[in-house]
Amino acid sequence: MQNYSNTVSGSTEKLAWQILTVAPLLKKRLFRPDFEQGENQLPLSYAQVLATLNIEESMTVTEISERFDIAKPNITPLIDRMIEAGYVKRVRNSADRRVVHVVILEKGREKVKEMVNSLKSTVQRWPGAVTDEDKARLTKAIEEIHSILMKCE
């Protein structure tokens, strides 16, 4: 990797390089093909929306579109598939019938638990060289990344 100065410009460039190089590692090490094609059988984007709904309880179609940077016309088939699977339902806002909320159902919550267990299994299969201390540091780092990136919305 290049040598970076301590300037703001240098740290911004280093951050850009780090983002480019860590994103593929996250996908490869955590979201292996068996995550989407195995027992979960949900594309990663669906899994992420479902996990977020598990936390938020309910989101409008616009909120989902903006949070995941998915065009509104592409949200409809995503939600339709999750409704067909019994994971979520649409609820019209009583004050403004044009607003549609997507609400997670119990089956959706169970699916999120399955996905979390799948990721736990993946982490447990990491080589012994990855210590519990390493996992704790990674957890802390991801919490920090999440906190910082939420400020960007």
Same domain, 111 and 94: yes
Same domain, 22 and 91: no
Same domain, 107 and 74: yes
Same domain, 6 and 81: no
Domain of residue 70: give its range: 33-150
Phi, psi (rounded to 5 degrees) for 6 = -90, 10
Same domain, 127 and 79: yes
Question: What pLDDT, in 10s, does the model give residues 59-83?
Answer: 998 899 888 888 888 888 989 999 9
Question: What pLDDT, in 10s, does the model give residues 91-137?
Answer: 998 888 888 899 999 999 999 998 888 888 888 888 888 899 999 99
Beta-carbon count within 10 A of 111 CB:
25
What is the reported pLDDT for 16? 85
What is the domain count for the chain?
Answer: 2
Same domain, 4 and 56: no
Q: DSSP secondary structure string, 8-70?
A: HHHHHHHHHHHHHHHHHHHHHHHS-HHHHHSSS-S-HHHHHHHHHHHHHSEEEHHHHHHHHT-
